Structure 1
Amino acid sequence: MIIAIDGPAASGKGTLGKRLAHHYGYRHLDTGVIYRAVAKALLDAGADLTDEARAVAVAMELDPEKFGNPALKTQMVGEAASVVSAIPRVREALVNFQRQFAADPPGAVLDGRDIGTVICPNADVKIFVIADPKVRARRRTLEARARGEEADEALVLADILKRDERDQNRAIAPLKAAPDAYLLDNSHLDIEGGVRAAIDIVEAVRAGRQRV
């Protein structure tokens, strides 16, 4: 089974996907980390984030062993990743990696912003996660401070709104819900509540298929 989790509610989404994967014994991939890894490599090299050839070269040589680097979670890298992810050839270079991950047994949970629409359009379950931008900004600010980073909630909110607009209006793989995606609003849910809601969606789909 392939479970696709998308949506603008980035804060907590990766944790939701990880917990869902653990519940079902599946593998988990936070696809946003892939783009963050490309962005960080470019930042570290002092390269132009819009240098297509350089970005594609980095994307082709990614080391999955580095996906757990805490530095990938910083706001600066997140902003850079949004720029890099809008480069069509970078997205092309990373599509096969993501699809192969999804196809390998026993099953997978992938979360990002184009999983159900582009990467795995035939996913068994698609969940589109949303939350009020102010709630997302508050959560992200608390997460950053917990990592020992300084974070201005107003600036975080501005960044969230800017990124959402950019991702929703990009020409390639814009952020949008797949027609058959289930909406999950976690504005007022903690992570436990979000996980339970996601499991309920998956089980409803499985039960429906079993009745066919």
Structure 2
Amino acid sequence: MSGDQVITVDGPAASGKGTIASGLGRLYGLPVLDSGLLYRAVGVLLQRAGGGLADAAAAAAVARGLRAVALDDEAFRTRGAGEAASQVAVHPEVRQVLLALQRDFAAQPGGAVLDGRDMGTVICPDAGAKLYVTASPEVRAERRWRQLTGQGESVGLDEVLADIRRRDARDSGRAAAPMAPAPDAVLLDTSEMTIDQAADAARRIVEAARAGQTP
């Protein structure tokens, strides 16, 4: 793949990585993949088919059919979908099926932006620019709570914070591709940043990487 033109944006839930990845895609005219949606789709579709989230073989079978599935279903963006995604993501079989799909996306002529948890470590280790976006659990929980209540979901902030901490532990502790910054990723803590400030910081990180400099 053309690593120089690939940008990876990793980090935990509600850190701002999705917003940053979308902004970088617009700025550089690159397609953007939200890999979390792939796992959310697997979890939701598996449950719709009556399967259990702990069934690795069934989850992998669903993952194999994702190329024909549109990822714009609003059900993939709910609180339940996020929890389901975290549970199916622990299965090595699922991660292996989705590996090729994600690498194919990254290999598009001209490059791409990939948003997830193992983009810079597993999917695109040769990416030209790598960001690891984070924020405190409390800040991330409030962001996610505002998003969910804005979508009409009835959930308390304490519940969302507990979800965040549980997902962090599961994602960072799984045996297959645990969530962690790549050794050459630049850490971007958005806890005290506005959206515009985070976008500008991300742009500067990418520009520095492309110029072979340390931001």
Aligned with residue 201 of structure 1, among 180, 183, 205: 205
CA contact (8 A) 2:21 2:114 kept: yes
Q: CA RMSD in A?
A: 1.2
Which of 32, 38, 41 lines up with 2:36 in the alignment?
32
Q: In 2 relative to 1, CA 106–81 (structure 1 residues): closer, same or farther, beyond 3 Å?
A: same
TM-score normalised by L of structure 2: 0.94
Aligned length: 209
1:53 to 48, 51, 57: 57
Q: Percent identity?
A: 51
Which residues of structure 1 form unaligned runs of 5+? Answer: none
Aligned residue for 1:82?
86
1:182 aligns with 2:175: no
1:119 aligns with 2:158: no
Distance 1:94 1:84 in 2: 12
Q: Is the 8 A contact 1:4 1:123 kept in 2?
A: yes
- Any idea what SS the aligned residue of 1:159 has? helix
Q: Cα offset for 1:104?
A: 0.6
Cα drift, residue 185 of structure 1: 0.2
Shift of 1:44: 1.1
Deviation above 6 Å: which 4+ runs of structure 1? none
Give the drift of 1:45: 1.6
Matched residue, 2:174: 170
Structure 2 residue runs of 5 or longer lacking an equivalent are none
1:85-104 mapped onto 2 (5 Å cutoff): 85-104=89-108
Answer whether contact 1:11 1:140 (CA < 8 A) is retained: no
CA contact (8 A) 1:27 1:109 kept: yes
SS of equivalent to 1:183: strand
| Correspondence for 1:156 | 160
Distance 2:157 2:68 in 1: 31
CA–CA distance in structure 2, aligned partners of residues 158 and 82 of structure 1: 14
Deviation at 1:207, TM superposition (A): 2.0
